[in-house]
């Protein structure tokens, strides 16, 4: 069970990758069709967002059957074919395990509602709700039928939190993971897994701006050790990642240090809140570079020193496209996309690429509220109106922040529906598809740059295994870090601005060699001029 640190993960939102049946929804066969493309890119693992039976209230994160395939995406035979075909292309699968909550349409919840005491103890039922709020707005408690009790739902009210304190619940959930292991699955991504360990006695949480009361509880670590021991820990070559909501470095070191026997790595989201005004998502603000740099440095060094391991990412299905947030895309889309890529692919951790990122996809630029479908966006819009924002203002915020921004269909070519489907897609294609699509970008600047970064990680233990140290910490424009491994070291400079920046190159690197850059190579002298969004990695001897 040693993590292979040369691997790179590619995330696919199955609904939006490739539709082969003509129903406007992507499917498992569509992913099989694109395996040669993924092999060409060079990725090793694909993480699939949930494709299980679900009422799709939260796009599959409301699971009503954990061990089946939603007919929308195909059949179990299609899934088995995907595992098989993947192995032939050297690509393993990573499945999304939503074990904190299940859909209220799941038979466990239905039996509980019907009065079955055994299943009632699968959920978190209380006579008196706490003041907790749902991540999707409103109270986190809803009436449990007409019993007078309330059930906890940290997300939508159709996503009921499971009671991990009940050994029967744990046993059932471990069975779910083992079901997929038996199908040949080696990788697992665990949804909001630092929220599973709730206290027996739930306390109010009046200060809801900070870390919620129920996050990173000590018992959470115990549950992860059990999960490891009873499921994926039995495979030599498993790969696991936990999605950690509102977490901190000490907990993440513990979750991911190999001696803890919990998980291989962790996602945290702090760096994607640097454009939140006052920590609030439904606001608009230019990103704060100081905050971003400091977060990367403290996390990079903290995880390196504690022998923890991070999943590194700019994009996923819950985030607007990073290009829209951090880059002047009108003038520097290619430079910005390649710089963002290098800033994580050359860093310490496992890089994740979200579908379309490798061709520099951007937000869809929708013009009407009726184009949005995500439950979180729809609730947030209503809440903003209720609190007195004008529809124009509220719409602008949705445009910038909606999760639908990254969920739009993959842009394969410039034909109808971007080559994603022959039918009207479930979610409208982005307006940029005529210019930004796989067919044209494969000869462009971004896709080949990703290929090169992935290749470098495979060739150089310095990149895959080296330590991380902050560099040029005072720079107000450049995020820089240093990697070290045996007798090699690497300095990575990333200019986060649309302007040229001059800086002093540390002496040790003045006679170094350029490993990779997104501009023509520069001669290395004591002063270096970084062009807009330039990234450059300089290799030297220790
Ligand atoms: O997301 C967890 C989470 O905390 C989200 O609130 C996330 O921070 C937010 O969407 C950003 O706006 C996971 C899944 O990734 C997400 O798609 C699910 O909706 C959620 O869990 C519930 O399962």
- Asked if the structure places residue 460 within a domain, the reply is no
Alpha helices in 74-192 (DSSP H): 76-88, 107-113, 117-120, 167-182
> Model confidence over 455-484: pLDDT tens digits?
999 999 999 999 999 999 999 999 999 999
CA 375, 376, 381, 383 dihedral sign is: positive
Q: In this structure, are 267 and 390 located in the same domain?
A: no
Mutate to test the pocket of ligand 1, among 12, 135, 380, 383 (most ligand atoms within 8 A of CB): 135
- Asked if the structure places residue 125 within a domain, the reply is yes
What is the CATH number for 508?
Answer: 2.60.40.1180
Q: In this structure, are 200 and 254 located in the same domain?
A: yes
* Cβ contacts of 534 within 8 Å, gap of 6 or more: 335, 339, 493, 494, 495, 517, 518, 519
Average pLDDT, the chain: 97
Q: In this structure, are 178 and 304 located in the same domain?
A: yes
- Asked if the structure places residue 459 within a domain, the reply is no
Residue located nearest, by CA, to atom 18 of ligand 1: 61
Q: In this structure, are 22 and 128 located in the same domain?
A: no
- Confidence at residue 211, expressed as pLDDT on a 0 to 100 scale: 87
Residue 243 Cα to ligand 1 midpoint, Å, equals 9
Q: Is the CB of 191 under 6 A from ligand 1?
A: yes
- Residue 1: pLDDT above 70? no
- Confidence at residue 524, expressed as pLDDT on a 0 to 100 scale: 79
- Token code pair at residue 296: 């990367």
- Total domain count, the chain: 4
> Model confidence over 102-159: pLDDT tens digits?
999 999 999 999 999 999 999 999 999 999 999 998 999 999 999 999 999 999 999 9
* Residue 59, number of CB atoms within 10 A of its CB: 23
* Cβ contacts of 81 within 8 Å, gap of 6 or more: 28, 29, 32
- Residue 209: pLDDT above 70? no
Q: Which of 121, 152, 183 is the last residue of a domain?
A: 152
Q: Is the CB of 52 under 6 A from ligand 1?
A: no
The Cα 86–Cα 92 span in angstroms is 6
* Cβ contacts of 205 within 8 Å, gap of 6 or more: 130, 131, 132, 212, 213, 214
CA contacts within 13 A on the Cβ side of 369: 17
Average pLDDT over residues 327-337: 98
Q: In this structure, are 362 and 378 located in the same domain?
A: no
* Cβ contacts of 531 within 8 Å, gap of 6 or more: 335, 495, 500, 519
Residue 124 Cα to ligand 1 midpoint, Å, equals 20
- Confidence at residue 522, expressed as pLDDT on a 0 to 100 scale: 67
- Residue 289: pLDDT above 70? yes
Q: In this structure, are 316 and 383 located in the same domain?
A: no
Reference 317, options 263, 377, 239; nearest CA is 377
The Cα 359–Cα 228 span in angstroms is 36
| Eight-state DSSP code of residue 366 | -
Q: In this structure, are 88 and 223 located in the same domain?
A: yes
The better pLDDT of the pair 255, 526 is held by 255
> 397 and 282 in contact (C-beta within 8 Å)?
yes
Reference 187, options 45, 28, 316; nearest CA is 45
Q: In this structure, are 373 and 361 located in the same domain?
A: no
Sole residue written with tokens 């009407």: 368
Average pLDDT over residues 306-311: 98
Reference 519, options 271, 269, 338, 374; nearest CA is 338
* Minimum-distance ligand 1 atom for the alpha carbon of 317: 17
- Asked if the structure places residue 161 within a domain, the reply is no
Sole residue written with tokens 């439950």: 375
Q: Is the CB of 11 under 6 A from ligand 1?
A: no
Q: Is the CB of 134 under 6 A from ligand 1?
A: no
Q: Is the CB of 155 under 6 A from ligand 1?
A: yes
What is the CATH number for 332?
Answer: 3.20.20.80
Q: In this structure, are 417 and 499 located in the same domain?
A: no
Reference 5, options 350, 328, 272, 322; nearest CA is 350
* Residue 280, number of CB atoms within 10 A of its CB: 10
Residue 403 Cα to ligand 1 midpoint, Å, equals 9
- Asked if the structure places residue 160 within a domain, the reply is no
Mutate to test the pocket of ligand 1, among 50, 191, 276, 315 (most ligand atoms within 8 A of CB): 191
Residue located nearest, by CA, to atom 10 of ligand 1: 318
Residue 318 Cα to ligand 1 midpoint, Å, equals 6
In Å, how far are 78, 363, 365, 381, 501 from 423, measured between CA atoms?
21, 21, 21, 29, 48
Q: Is the CB of 135 under 6 A from ligand 1?
A: yes
Query: b/e string for 11-32 if b means 16 or more Cβ within 10 A?
Result: bbbbbbbbbbbeebbbbbbbbb
- Asked if the structure places residue 3 within a domain, the reply is no
For a pLDDT cut of 90, what percent of the chain falls above it? 96
Q: Is the CB of 96 under 6 A from ligand 1?
A: no
Residue 542 Cα to ligand 1 midpoint, Å, equals 42
Residue 175 Cα to ligand 1 midpoint, Å, equals 24
Q: In this structure, are 256 and 385 located in the same domain?
A: no
Among all residues, which ones are annotated catalytic?
191, 243
| Eight-state DSSP code of residue 94 | E
> 427 and 373 in contact (C-beta within 8 Å)?
yes
Q: In which element (H, E) is residue 378 found?
A: helix 375-386
In Å, how far are 33, 60, 66, 218 from 89, measured between CA atoms?
12, 27, 27, 40
Q: In this structure, are 376 and 354 located in the same domain?
A: no
Residue located nearest, by CA, to atom 7 of ligand 1: 318
> Model confidence over 495-539: pLDDT tens digits?
999 999 999 999 999 989 999 999 987 677 888 999 999 999 999
Length of the chain measured in residues = 542
For a pLDDT cut of 70, what percent of the chain falls above it? 99
- Confidence at residue 452, expressed as pLDDT on a 0 to 100 scale: 98
- Confidence at residue 36, expressed as pLDDT on a 0 to 100 scale: 98
| Eight-state DSSP code of residue 3 | -
Q: In this structure, are 248 and 188 located in the same domain?
A: yes
- Residue 291: pLDDT above 80? yes
- Asked if the structure places residue 268 within a domain, the reply is yes
The separation between CA 245 and the C-alpha centre of its own chain, rounded to angstroms, equals 11
Q: What domain range includes position 478? A: 467-539
Q: Which of 397, 425, 454 is the last residue of a domain?
A: 454
pTM reported for the whole predicted model: 0.97
- Asked if the structure places residue 258 within a domain, the reply is yes
> 319 and 406 in contact (C-beta within 8 Å)?
yes
């Amino acid at each position: 069970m040693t993590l292979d640190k040369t691997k790179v993960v590619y995330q696919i939102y199955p609904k939006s990758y490739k539709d082969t049946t003509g129903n406007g929804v992507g499917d498992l066969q569509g992913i099989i069709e694109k395996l040669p493309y993924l092999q060409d890119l060079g990725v090793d693992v694909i993480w699939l967002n949930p494709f299980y039976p679900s009422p799709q209230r939260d796009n599959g994160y409301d699971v009503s059957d954990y061990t089946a395939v939603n007919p929308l995406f195909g059949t179990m035979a299609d899934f088995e074919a995907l595992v098989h075909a993947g192995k032939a292309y050297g690509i393993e699968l990573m499945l999304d395990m939503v074990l904190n909550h299940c859909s209220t349409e799941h038979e466990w919840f239905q039996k509980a509602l019907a009065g079955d005491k055994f299943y009632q103890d699968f959920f978190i039922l209380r006579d008196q709700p706490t003041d907790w709020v749902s991540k999707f707005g409103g109270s986190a408690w809803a009436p449990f039928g007409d019993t007078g009790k309330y059930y906890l739902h940290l997300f939508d009210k159709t996503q009921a939190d499971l009671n991990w304190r009940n050994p029967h619940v744990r046993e059932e959930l471990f069975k779910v993971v083992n079901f997929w292991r038996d199908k040949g699955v080696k990788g697992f991504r665990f949804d909001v897994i630092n929220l599973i360990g709730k206290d027996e006695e739930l306390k109010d949480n009046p200060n809801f701006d900070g870390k919620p009361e129920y996050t990173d509880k000590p018992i959470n670590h115990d549950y992860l050790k059990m999960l490891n021991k009873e499921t994926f820990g039995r495979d030599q070559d498993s790969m696991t990642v936990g999605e950690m909501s509102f977490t901190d470095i000490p907990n993440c070191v513990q979750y991911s240090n190999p001696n803890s026997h919990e998980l291989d790595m962790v996602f945290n989201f702090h760096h994607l809140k640097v454009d939140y005004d006052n920590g609030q998502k439904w606001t608009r603000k230019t990103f704060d570079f100081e905050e971003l740099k400091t977060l990367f440095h403290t996390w990079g060094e903290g995880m390196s020193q504690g022998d923890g391991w991070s999943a590194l990412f700019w994009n996923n299905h819950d985030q607007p496209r990073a290009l829209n947030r951090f880059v002047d895309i009108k003038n520097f889309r290619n430079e910005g996309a390649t710089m963002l890529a290098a800033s994580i692919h050359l860093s310490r951790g496992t890089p994740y690429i979200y579908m379309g990122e490798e061709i520099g996809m951007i937000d869809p630029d929708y013009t009407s509220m009726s184009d949005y479908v995500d439950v979180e966006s729809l609730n947030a819009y209503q809440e903003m109106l209720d609190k007195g924002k004008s529809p124009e203002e509220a719409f602008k915020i949705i445009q910038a922040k909606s999760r639908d921004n990254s969920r739009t269909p993959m842009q394969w070519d410039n034909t109808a529906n971007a080559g994603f489907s022959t039918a009207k897609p479930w979610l409208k294609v982005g307006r940029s598809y005529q210019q930004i699509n796989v067919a044209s970008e494969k000869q462009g600047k971004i896709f080949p740059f990703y290929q090169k970064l992935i290749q470098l990680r495979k060739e150089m233990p310095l990149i895959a295994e080296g330590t991380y140290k902050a560099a040029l910490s005072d720079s107000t424009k450049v995020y820089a870090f240093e990697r070290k491994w045996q007798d090699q070291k690497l300095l990575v400079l990333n200019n986060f601005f649309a302007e040229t920046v001059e800086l002093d190159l540390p002496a040790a690197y003045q006679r170094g060699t350029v490993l990779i850059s997104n501009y023509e190579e520069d001669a290395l002298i004591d002063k270096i001029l970084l062009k807009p969004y330039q990234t450059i990695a300089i290799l030297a001897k220790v």
